[in-house]
């Protein structure tokens, strides 16, 4: 099972997305929870990372809703996974669901206050939400210089 995870990471790094997706699928499908003495799952972080990485592959394949599902699962297994919140927020932004994007980006920043990309994208999402509420889009706003 761990071999599927490692193989998926290698294939992802090589840009072999379809093969990586198959190995992440196998890892996720065969994952079994391991518990410590107090009943806490101790190997959930790897599952969260596998969901996040598979979500990235779905994103690259423009399967946004599958990506959102995987990022949500990653967050389920690791509530402090700032990158998964950021990634899900980015997709919500791409789908013009600005408030959902803002919520996720804020959550990412709560976890990692110095997450620069999240800070920048939060500013843009807030601007675009304001424009959306005004019935405009960012392409309607023209900036001129004097």
pLDDT digits (tens, 9 = 90+) for 36-78: 999 888 889 999 999 999 999 999 999 999 999 999 999 999 9
pLDDT at 81 over 90: yes
Helix (H) or strand (E) holding 121, with range, is: helix 116-133
Q: Which residue has the higher pLDDT, 82 or 139?
A: 82
The label of the residue with tokens 């601007």 reads 127
Output the pLDDT for position 39: 87
Q: CA-CA distance, 60 to 7, in Å (whole number)?
A: 19
> pLDDT above 70 covers what percent of the chain?
93
What's the pTM? 0.88
Sequence-distant contacts of 87-95: CB under 8 A, at least 24 apart:
87/52, 87/55, 87/56, 87/59, 88/55, 89/118, 89/121, 89/125, 90/59, 90/121, 91/59, 91/64, 91/67, 92/68, 93/121, 93/124, 93/125, 93/128, 94/64, 95/64
Tokens 């304001």 belong to which residue? 130
Rounded mean pLDDT of the chain? Answer: 93
| Per-residue pLDDT at 139 | 60
| pLDDT number for residue 140 | 57
Terminal alpha carbon distance of the chain = 62
pLDDT at 144: 39
């Amino acid at each position: 099972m761990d071999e599927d995870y490692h193989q998926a990471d290698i294939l992802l790094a090589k840009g072999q997305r379809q093969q990586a997706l198959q190995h992440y699928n196998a890892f996720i499908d065969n994952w079994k929870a391991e518990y410590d003495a107090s009943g806490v799952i101790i190997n959930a972080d790897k599952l969260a990372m596998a969901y996040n990485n598979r979500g990235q592959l779905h994103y690259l394949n423009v399967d946004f809703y599958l990506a959102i599902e995987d990022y949500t699962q990653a967050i389920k297994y690791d509530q402090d996974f700032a990158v998964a919140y950021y990634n899900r927020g980015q997709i919500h932004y791409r789908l013009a669901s600005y408030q959902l994007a803002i919520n996720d980006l804020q959550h990412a920043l709560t976890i990692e206050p110095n997450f620069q990309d999240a800070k920048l994208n939060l500013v843009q999402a807030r601007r675009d939400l304001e424009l959306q509420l005004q019935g405009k889009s960012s392409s309607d706003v023209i900036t001129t210089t004097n």
